[in-house]
């Protein structure tokens, strides 16, 4: 949305010296990912520059099947080919020889070929994937070494500090985090996995994983914009990239919670709920145990 505003007030970016850094997370990066189970992977892949809002509409469409055209455009943007629209970038990717066609849907084999030189061992090569599944695939393999490098390295991401955020200070428009007694400048448009996009809230919270990368060239106009800054931060106890399976487990728990909310809180009156059902099972289990116990005792007495 912000990008649109800038279009209407093109001069805004030239003079917005009072604007703070804008942190992005699953709630504000796109309009339609907050409910997606792969929202954080989408945030991460976007932060790496592997996913781009090439249609410039802030919609990610997580459930939509990834097309060759979109894949080509994203890869073209990642390789810094000329073009801004999806069509321009996809065409440039064909011209550069990265893909042979932009027709049809992409497969895991196409993604493997483009981003990992085809070096990943896949069992489902010819399967198509949704855009959210693409993000998850990229996230899963972001640290996988191929050809002596990783996607993280290609995106110029280097490991940042971990630990408790001891202090957050604002120096002009840039935030500086103190971790382990050392100051670290936050990027002008960093991404996070966490609830609050207000860095002031992070004091006392634990950073499980972080990455440095250069600020985007459009941020360089600001005299506060350090060339290297923290661009991706995982707030919480668990590193994001190595914790995919755990995240999935967590997602299951969240799913149940969500559906319970849907059954209980949603607009329509609901006569029963999973919670009640669970209680019913517990009661049943208890009653069952008592009955079995009683029968067992009765049988023992009868035998005597």
Partner 1 sequence: MCKRLLLITTLLLAMAVPTYAHLTGAFADFLAIVYDETTISTLHEELAQTRADIEALTPQVAEAENVFRDNQQQAIMQLQAYAETGLDTWLTMMKQGNDVVDLLGNQWLMEQQITTYLQQLNVLYSEFKTLEQAQQSLQGHEQLLYAIEKNLQAREAFLAETAGLELDVIANYLDIDWTAEVEAHIIADLTADMNVINDELLQWVQQPALTLPEQWLNDKSAATYYFRNDHIYMEYELEFAHVLILGQVLQQETGDAAQFVIEAGFYNGFFLPEELLVELSGWSIAYETLQQLDGVDQPYITQQNGYLQIVSK
**Dihedrals phi, psi of 249, to nearest 5 degrees:** -65, -45
Angle (nearest 5°) at CA 263 between 260 and 265: 90
Give phi and psi for 84, each to the nearest 5. -120, -35
The Cα-based distances of 28 to 22, 43, 58, 255, 298 in angstroms read 10, 10, 9, 21, 64
| Cα-based distances in Å from 148 to 45, 50, 151 | 21, 19, 11
The contact mask relative to partner 1 for 173-212 (x = CB under 8 A, - = no) is: ----------------------xxxx-xx-xx--------
Q: Considering only residues 63, 85, 119, 158, which one is a binding residue for partner 1 as defined by CB under 8 A?
A: 63
Q: Which lies closer to partner 1 via its Cβ, residue 9 or residue 84?
A: 9
Residue 171 in contact with partner 1, rule: CB under 8 A: no
Quick one: which of 164, 280, 290, 297 contacts partner 1 (CB under 8 A)? 280
* Binding-site member from 32, 53, 88, 166 for partner 1 (CB under 8 A): 32
Give 63 or 158: the residue with its C-beta nearer to partner 1: 63
How does strand 158-159 pair with strand 163-171? unpaired
Q: Which CB atom, from 29 or from 213, has the smaller least distance to partner 1? A: 29
Helix (H), strand (E) at residue 228: strand 228-235
Under the binding rule (CB under 8 A), the answer on residue 15 touching partner 1 is yes
How distant is the alpha carbon of residue 290 from its chain centre?
A: 48
Exactly one of 36, 46, 112, 215 binds partner 1 (CB under 8 A); that residue is: 36
Q: Considering only residues 83, 128, 166, 170, which one is a binding residue for partner 1 as defined by CB under 8 A? A: 170
CA-nearest of 288, 160, 131, 135 to 231 is 160
Binding site for partner 1 (CB under 8 A): 1-2, 4-5, 7-12, 14-20, 22, 27-28, 31-37, 57-59, 62-63, 170, 195-198, 200-201, 203-204, 252, 255-256, 258-259, 262-263, 266, 268, 270-272, 274, 276-277, 280-281, 284-285, 287-288, 291-292, 295
């Amino acid at each position: 949305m912000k990008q649109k505003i800038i279009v209407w007030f093109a001069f805004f970016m030239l003079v917005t010296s009072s604007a703070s850094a804008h942190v992005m997370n699953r709630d504000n990066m796109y309009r339609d990912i907050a409910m997606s189970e792969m929202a954080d992977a989408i945030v991460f892949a976007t932060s790496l520059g592997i996913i781009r809002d090439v249609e410039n509409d802030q919609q990610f469409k997580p459930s939509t099947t990834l097309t060759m055209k979109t894949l080509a455009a994203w890869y073209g943007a990642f390789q810094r080919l000329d073009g801004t629209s999806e069509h321009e970038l996809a065409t440039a990717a064909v011209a550069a020889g990265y893909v042979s066609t932009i027709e049809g849907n992409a497969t895991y084999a196409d993604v493997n070929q483009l981003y990992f030189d085809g070096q990943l061992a896949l069992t489902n090569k010819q399967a198509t994937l949704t855009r959210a599944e693409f993000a998850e695939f990229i996230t899963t393999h972001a640290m996988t070494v191929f050809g002596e490098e990783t996607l993280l390295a290609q995106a110029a991401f280097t490991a940042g500090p971990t630990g408790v955020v001891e202090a957050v200070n604002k120096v002009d428009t840039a935030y500086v985090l103190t971790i382990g007694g050392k100051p670290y400048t936050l990027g002008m448009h960093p991404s996070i996995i966490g609830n609050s996009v207000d860095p002031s809230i992070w004091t006392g919270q634990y950073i499980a994983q972080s990455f440095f990368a250069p600020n985007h060239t459009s941020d360089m106009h600001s005299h506060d914009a350090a060339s290297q800054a923290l661009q991706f931060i995982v707030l919480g106890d668990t590193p994001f990239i190595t914790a995919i399976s755990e995240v999935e487990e967590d997602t299951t728990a969240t799913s149940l919670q969500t559906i319970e909310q849907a059954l209980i809180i949603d607009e329509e009156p609901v006569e029963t709920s999973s919670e009640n059902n669970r209680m019913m099972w517990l009661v049943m289990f208890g009653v069952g145990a008592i009955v079995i116990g009683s029968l067992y005792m009765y049988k023992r007495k009868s035998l005597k």
